[in-house]
Amino acid sequence: MGKTLSSPSFICPLLTSSHNAFVVDCRITTGPKCKAYPRLNVIPRDKHCISRKNISDSALKVMSRLRSQGHQAYLVGGAVRDLLLGSNPKDFDIATDATPEEVHGLFRNSRIIGRRFRIVHVRFGREIIEVTTFRGHHEGGNEASPATGGNHSRQSDKGLLLRDNVYGTLEEDAVRRDLTVNALYYDSGKFEVFDHVNGLTDLEKRQICIIGEPAVRYREDPVRMLRTVRFAAKLNFDIEKNTAKAIPACAALLREIPSARLFDEFLKLFLSGYAAATLEQLLEHDLLQFLFDETSHLLHQDAMSLALVRAAMANTDKRIADDKPVTPAFILAALLWPVVVRTAAQQENRGDPPMVAMHNASQQTISEASQQLSIPRRFSQPMREIWEFQLRLQRRQGKKAAELVEHRRFRAAYDFLLLREQAGEDTGDLGEWWTEYQTLDMDQRLAKSAEHNGKSGSRRRPRKRRNNQQT
């Protein structure tokens, strides 16, 4: 998990004036041309702070072997960006002019993955180094695939990039990337940083800027809008004016993205240590509706629901910062809780008992949410248990309470109860009661339950008889 980078300035000095410069063709795709990026900035070793000691040995080995075989090889993307910002990256990606097949041939510990974007994963124990081939322009739409089997592209009628395996040069690869701050390259052989798209300038300005014409790039891949807000949240950067301005007109294109891919993006958005900031970015740019449609509407209507979701995001970020485990099930449970509560209330109004209403509402909510996000069963089941547990926690009688504490889902449900109270919901003394109850031995627990029963004077109400009338 990456850290939020919030320092107001670079930890190391950067030289953004040109060391070597030449004109670069900036055509990105069919359609409007992007703004010009006429100069290549080459930052020499003594003008930047990147050190090989902060780079994975595995990544250095991959680049070295590629260069030894006559190929270009550069550290690229987030790793270079974070190193320049003074952070220690956890993932290292490499760009090369070698095809996926050539890379695979050099590393027995590798495999080619992907169809839309063919890349190579080189594995060193538990560490994976991702190697991509320089991407090129694909103005001709569909291109014939050569013998390598990967060098072709395909776009939809609306401009959606369905396949992007046209290979090109380093300069073309730079302008084919999404954000300027993610298009910086480091040569571990010559110790130089290459900037083709003014990425260093945007780092200094602390802004997220898409490469090229924003609307065109969003149409190519609508997920770039989610990436834009995600990196703005992660880095605590502003979004450049034109980059942000194009989002409202293109946002609906996210409905064309497969639900499985959107779930992968959900994990990156909310489980990388900056969920709270990401939520605010999604709300500001009205993008949450394309992940959680009903939740988005309810958060605009109900301050308590918004407070709960915000509290869940902050709690998740804190757990990640403290190196504690987190699960997508918990944050999904928080994001969908407003929908569950509303649906359960509707079913209770129709006459369903509370537990039946909650069970049915849980099933319905997950089913509808899965049409937007492909939620795996390993997460949907814990979500239901957390929700239904909120009713079970109201039962504080005798051994029933003791059994609840021993349940595998108690801790998550208890934490969720505290979030509800933190958001301003009045649950009586439930949170305080269960907090104290956990600290007691069995005899003390039974005594506390008896005390509660005595105060409440609760008795099982007789079940109303139904008149079975024939119609």
So which residues are the catalytic ones? 91, 93, 178
Asked if 403 and 420 touch (Cβ cutoff 8 Å), the reply is: no
Q: Which two tokens stand for residue 278?
A: 């990401």
Gap between the Cα atoms of 366 and 400, Å rounded: 28
Q: How far apart are CA 126 and CA 191, in angstroms?
A: 27
Q: Where is 276: in which H helix or E strand?
A: helix 275-284
* Distances, alpha carbon 30 to alpha carbons 27, 155, 156, 158, 164, in Å: 8, 10, 12, 12, 14
> Which residue shows structure tokens 């300005």?
205
Distance CA 280, CA 223 (A): 18
Q: Which of 190, 187, 264 is nearest to 230 (CA)?
A: 264
Torsion angle in degrees (nearest 10) through CA of 331, 337, 339, 345: 170
Cβ burial of 340 (10 Å; 0-12, 13-18, 19+) is buried
Which single residue is written with the structure tokens 């003008």? 47
Q: Residue 10, Cβ neighbours under 10 Å: how many? A: 16
Instruction: Say how many C-beta atoms besides its own lie within 10 A of residue 163's C-beta.
Output: 19
Phi, psi of 335 (to 5 degrees): -65, -30
**236's torsion region: left (phi>0), alpha (psi -120 to 50) or beta?**
left
- Our measurement of the distance from residue 369's CA atom to the centroid of its chain's CA atoms, rounded to an integer in Å, reads 17
CB 344 within 8 A of CB 356: no
Cα–Cα distance between 105 and 99 in angstroms, integer?
10
Q: Is the dihedral of CA 360, 363, 367, 373 positive or negative?
A: positive
Six token digits for residue 65: 């072997």
Which among 26, 56, 271 has a CA at the least distance from the CA of 139?
26
Q: Which residues sit opposite 186 in a β-bridge?
A: 75, 193
Question: Do 193 and 180 meet the contact criterion of CB atoms below 8 Å apart?
Answer: no
User: In this structure, which amino acid lies at residue 18?
Assistant: S
For tokens 């407070």, what's the residue? Answer: 307
Q: Where are the beta strands (DSSP E) in 44-88?
A: 73-76
* Distance of alpha carbon 34 from alpha carbon 163, whole angstroms: 21
